[in-house]
Chains A and B, each alone.
Chain A
Amino acid sequence: EAGVAQSPRYKIIEKRQSVAFWCNPISGHATLYWYQQILGQGPKLLIQFQNNGVVDDSQLPKDRFSAERLKGVDSTLKIQPAKLEDSAVYLCASSSGQGTNEKLFFGSGTQLSVL
């Protein structure tokens, strides 16, 4: 079974530029998560989708971050414009969404450096 796919693996941009990350969850998984992990910290949830609907985006900085999950499969997370403090690893995870409590499976992440 293929895992959660993410791209790119690394991205270096200058502040005020835009960047986008892509995620393809495990086939058949209804729930998709985007997490931000700053060096030395645990992952922090940015947004959670159930199929193509948003379940929770309370910690998403909506003035600069946006995310979509068209057709309930792939997802894209965008930052526009980027700030220095956005330097982090952006992790995508998925779960089957069959119940309220599901095992999470993570992709390899995208390491973003904002200069």
Chain B
Amino acid sequence: GIQVEQSPPDLILQEGANSTLRCNFSDSVNNLQWFHQNPWGQLINLFYIPSGTKQNGRLSATTVATERYSLLYISSSQTTDSGVYFCAVELRIDMRFGAGTRLTVKP
């Protein structure tokens, strides 16, 4: 099956800093999504982005499908951005998740 690797595994930032999270995948995919899991465990869909670039406020994402990676950018981070960020990919079935990047934003 498709392998999904996320980096870094942990990230600690000061409020206001910018960050880039990376997701590498081992095969062609036709579905890639980024999720944020907040400290209470709720998974929130951030982006559906199998290719190209999207922006939503302080967050943006870019997927380069031909090179099998996706990047999530967080600008001007806030304490509410803390949590775990997951990348998930799918070819036909089985939306497969990476191990996540745990982000801690300190005030």
Chain A residues packing against B (C-beta within 8 Å): 33, 41-45, 48, 55-56, 58-59, 89, 91, 93, 100-106, 108-109, 111
Contacts and interface: CB of A to CB of B under 8 A. Distances in A.
Interface of B: 4, 30-31, 33, 35, 40-45, 48, 50, 86, 88, 90, 92-100
A1 to B, nearest CB: 13
A48 B93 contact: yes
B97 A108 contact: no
B99 A41 contact: yes
Contact of B95 (A41, A104, A111): A104
5 contacts: A48-B94, A59-B94, A101-B31, A105-B45, A106-B43
A45 B41 contact: no
Contacts of A109: 41-42
